[in-house]
Amino acid sequence: MSIAVAGHICLDIIPDFGERHPGLENIFIPGTLTEIGNATLSTGGAVSNTGIALHRLEMPVRLMAKIGADDFGQTIRNILRRQGTSLDEGMITGPDAQTSYSIVINPRGVDRIFLHCPGANHTFCAADIDDDQLRGIELFHFGYPTLMRSIYQNNGSEMKRLFDRAQSAGAYTSLDMTCVDPASEAGQVDWAQWLKNVLPSVDIFLPSIDEILFMIHPAKYAELTEKFPGELMQGIDRALVEQTAQTLIDLGVSIVVIKLGSQGLYLRTGAHVRGRGAEWNNVSLFMPCLKTEVIGTTGAGDCTIAGFLAAFLKKEPPKTAAEIAAAVGAFNTESADATSAVPSWDQVLQRLNAGWNRLESKFVCS
């Protein structure tokens, strides 16, 4: 079996501000020089996070993202090669493109600020992946279309074209989103229409609850964010999650996994999941998070997705797939970065089989 992970990738440049700069007022002072520490270079985005997590789970994976023929693009290739010697082979080089990058401003005691250049991600289109690259793929996953102009424009026509080609090549298709800045160009997209056009070509859809409410229930999203600023989950009940998932099923997708942050995830399936037995039909279940000592949550959602897709391809039953998804997401939180704490597939199963305790969730009755 082989998985392709396509979509958004970028280079993250993360300066170390140490202990000496507790606030931005001590850094951004015109006409001054501020001494800082070393910088960490890492890859970010769905292709990096979900793709590397799948690789660490020992799944054969091909990464497909667009970068430039520049130094940043070469750095991304080098970082990917350190994870696996062939992981950069599917990278698409745009000769005139700028590799996407982010400068992460993260002094101690201050919430992070991202200075982001979308670069080549904005020009990625269906034609960048040819039919030879899709041959032999069992599952084609695409992440973060909300950050890719050619993919989110025209009501998702490029996205649908790519998914249709992947399905014609015999692959399952899956899709992940990320949050949309309402003030951005992507924030002006009619996402409900976009999903209506694209989801009939998607087998597995894995959004977070805040992302999908913004897209299909914008009035409800606005109401909740106003009433519960920064604490959206406080205003979300079981009925809203279930109704939202059913709306997505009605739009044509077979499997919906809604990520619920610290409250776990919700799995909903339609009346027929192709290539799977009756146990996958009409499933509705909530899975809470698993207990860990949380160090960081960067990439937790992407790793959760990697766990679910790996379990699906290994033909695990629905409840097991949901539990493995929660487990891989939990492993992620045991390190500060996105993927280094993700273990092998066997290690995930060993920890689950040893009796890994679950956190309480307001969606799961004790």
Give tens-digit pLDDT for 250-287. Answer: 999 999 999 999 999 999 999 999 999 999 999 999 99
Among positive and negative, which fits the CA dihedral 203, 207, 209, 211? negative
CATH number assigned to the domain with residue range 3-8+45-98+119-353, chosen from the 4 options 3.30.70.20, 2.102.10.10, 3.40.1390.10, 3.40.1190.20? 3.40.1190.20
Chain mean pLDDT for the chain: 93
Distance CA 291, CA 294 (A): 9
Structure confidence at residue 348 (pLDDT): 98
Structure confidence at residue 335 (pLDDT): 87
Q: Name the residue with higher pLDDT: 306 or 38.
A: 306
Structure confidence at residue 1 (pLDDT): 62
What is the side-by-side strand order in the sheet with 3-7?
92-94, 61-68, 3-7, 139-143, 172-176, 204-205, 255-259, 265-269, 284-287
Res. 35 pLDDT band, cuts 50 70 90:
confident
Ranges of each domain in the chain: 3-8+45-98+119-353
Stretch 354-363: mean pLDDT: 94
Question: Over pLDDT 90: what percentage of the chain?
Answer: 79
